[in-house]
Amino acid sequence: MTVAVRVIPCLDVDGGRVVKGVNFRGLRDAGDPVELAARYDQQGADELTFLDITASSGGRDTMYDVLRRAAEQVFIPLTAGGGVRSVSDVDRLLRAGADKVAVGTAAVARPELLAEAAERFGSQCVVLSVDARRAAPGTQPYPPSGFEVTTHGGRAGTGIDAVGWARRAAADLGAGEILLNSMDADGTASGFDLELIGAVRAAVTVPVIASGGAGALAHFAPAVDAGADAVLAASVFHFGTLRIAQVKDALRAAGHPVRTAC
């Protein structure tokens, strides 16, 4: 047997509340990330990702409380990300209860942040979050892979080659995993960007989490076929369009190993 494909619900948290809409029957407080996390755990989530999208710095402290409470109730791995700027941010998130911390924009600005975090806490807890998009024709310099890194939630292009960045982060800077988000596919519900997944898979030997574009059961197995070790989705789970068990059934039917919820 081999390691199971991980199915990871992602919770976007703003000021301690889940946003992007949650549509679950039976939740007392659909906006409470901790209650939602417990629900996903019961439904067989293999791991949970919390992304802090709080704009105000004052609202950020609520994220530590969310993690602390989630870690008291949920005994599966937790990843925290969003606005992580320094080694001390990583430290605080790990202490609050995160097992892994995703770093994105700040690592583009200062790549050494990855190395410093990996040196101090180990590569296993350092996730490079890459928000990639297909470079517009005429982009200068044009990224060789055709995919460029964006920052600030996809609002800013950088001209940096997304595949090369992932390779460097994993091979030279100690990132232990790549959270690969397609900004083109994100929000479309029309499927993962398989070409992007394949290009990054070929460039790194660390696990790759595919993110962005999940809208239907048929979307997940192709992402794994393209090289993803894990699949991440938000809206389809929050809105109840798909259940985690259905995604796992679809993966299993396609011949991929999955963990059966116990």
Q: Where on the chain is the footprint of other proteins (CB under 8 A)?
A: 1-6, 41, 46, 71-72, 75-77, 94-95, 97, 99, 121-125, 176-177, 205-207, 229-230, 259-260, 262
Q: How far is the CB of 24 from other proteins (least distance, A)?
A: 20
Q: With the C-alpha atoms ordered 122, 10, 44, 91, is the resulting torsion angle positive or negative?
A: positive
Contact 204, 213 (CB under 8 A): no
Q: How far is the CB of 172 from other proteins (least distance, A)?
A: 13
Positions of E strands within 2-118: 6-14, 17-18, 48-52, 78-81, 100-103
Q: How far is the CB of 71 from other proteins (least distance, A)?
A: 7
95/152 with CB nearer other proteins = 95
Query: Exactly one of 46, 131, 193, 229 is catalytic; which is it?
Result: 131
- Residue 42 corresponds to which tokens in the numbers above? 């019961």
160/247 with CB nearer other proteins = 247
131 is catalytic: yes
120/152 with CB nearer other proteins = 120
CA dist., res. 76 & res. 80, Å (int)? 13
43/158 with CB nearer other proteins = 43
CA dist., res. 12 & res. 81, Å (int)? 10
Q: How far is the CB of 39 from other proteins (least distance, A)?
A: 14
Angle value at C-alpha 8, between 2 and 11, nearest 5 degrees = 165
12 is catalytic: yes
CA dist., res. 25 & res. 153, Å (int)? 30
Angle value at C-alpha 224, between 97 and 142, nearest 5 degrees = 90
Catalytic positions: 12, 131
